[in-house]
């Protein structure tokens, strides 16, 4: 198929690469220059998002936030200006479920279907085509797009109607944030109490407390490797969506609110562009102790 892809950052570039490797013709647009590696692999750089849409059966978006998606879709030279009737827009960004439903309705007026398909797995998952992809939208559009999802992800789930994918992603981000916080507290306690946090981590990975976050992010905390796989600033954005949604539903999410405050401490101390595992730094600041200093 002719596939459009808008947004070629840490996540988008490797995802687009998998689609090219899968035999599809890709029409590409990003804020900066299209990565040369994708052009060398056969990708075609476009001048604007409208041109991407004009040339594509399916247009994939991988963008930072709700306003970015709206601009790319409906701004000057946006996707909506070039979209074909019968085409599908697949938004793999993590954005507001409410805005998602509005975007879908506006594109339906132009004859285009819409799938919200946010992902989990971070940079590693994107590079290894091992993402978890949560999809909302009509079943027919999902089946047409599924071969693309299978090239980018390991677990692909059709959650429900438009917006359901974004709801699932918000739930995922709540769980991830709280688990990072739990791992950070456990390792900080172990370190402050005089134990080797690396050995403690090794010991508890064999028990009920084990998790991918303990395995991957626990190691980041100990080794101080906070280069971003998923930036704190982006996780803050996702938790804002969770808290805004909770208010509209009359729900209390106290753990989510606490995690957001810890991320805010990190951002206030210059760590907003670090990996979300750097949440541990907020606890370290309050405890006057670093996990690595066993």
For residue 262, what are its two tokens?
């810890």
List of residues 6+ apart from 107 with CB closer than 8 A: 73, 80, 83, 89, 113, 114
Q: Is 169 a known active-site residue? A: yes
For the beta carbon of residue 194, count every other beta carbon within 10 angstroms. 7
Of 89, 104, 66, 109, the residue nearest 5 (C-alpha): 89
Residue of 127, 146, 154, 169 marked catalytic: 169
* Exposed / middle / buried, residue 158 (Cβ in 10 Å: 0-12, 13-18, 19+): buried
Task: For the chain, give the number of residues.
Answer: 294
Give the E-state strand segments of the chain in sequence order: 2-6, 25-29, 44-45, 58-61, 88-91, 113-116, 119-120, 131-136, 153-160
Alpha helices for 9-127 (secondary structure H): 12-21, 36-40, 49-54, 66-74, 79-82, 97-108, 122-127
Give the burial string for 27-54 (b: 16+ CB within 10 Å, else e): bbbbeeebbeebeeeebbbbebbbbbbb
Three-state DSSP class for 136?
strand
Strand partners, 156: 133
The residues annotated as belonging to the active site are 169
């Amino acid at each position: 198929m002719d596939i459009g892809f808008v947004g070629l950052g840490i996540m988008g570039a490797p995802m687009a690469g998998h689609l090219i490797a899968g035999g599809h013709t890709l029409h590409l647009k990003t804020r900066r220059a299209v990565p040369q590696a994708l052009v060398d692999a056969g990708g075609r750089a476009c001048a604007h998002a409208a041109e991407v849409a004009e040339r594509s059966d399916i247009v994939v978006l991988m963008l930072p936030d709700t306003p970015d998606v709206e601009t790319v879709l409906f701004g000057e030279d946006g996707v909506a200006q070039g979209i074909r009737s019968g085409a599908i827009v697949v938004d793999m960004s993590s954005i507001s479920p409410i805005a998602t439903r509005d975007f879908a309705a506006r594109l339906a007026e132009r004859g285009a279907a819409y799938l919200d398909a946010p992902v989990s797995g971070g940079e590693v998952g994107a590079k290894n085509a091992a993402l978890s992809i949560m999809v909302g939208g009509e079943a027919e559009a999902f089946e047409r797009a599924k071969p693309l999802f299978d090239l980018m992800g390991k677990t692909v789930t059709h959650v429900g109607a438009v917006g359901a994918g974004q709801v699932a992603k918000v739930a995922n981000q709540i769980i991830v944030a709280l688990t990072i916080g739990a791992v950070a507290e456990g390792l900080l306690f172990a370190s402050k109490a005089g134990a080797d946090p690396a050995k403690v981590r090794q010991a508890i990975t064999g028990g009920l407390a084990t998790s991918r976050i303990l395995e991957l992010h626990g190691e980041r905390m100990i080794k101080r490797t906070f280069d971003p796989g998923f930036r704190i600033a982006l996780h803050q954005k996702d938790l804002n969506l969770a808290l805004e949604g909770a208010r509209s539903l009359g729900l209390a999410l106290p753990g989510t609110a606490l995690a957001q405050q810890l991320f805010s401490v990190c951002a206030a101390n210059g760590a907003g562009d670090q990996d979300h595992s750097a949440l541990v730094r907020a606890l370290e600041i309050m405890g006057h102790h670093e996990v690595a200093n066993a």
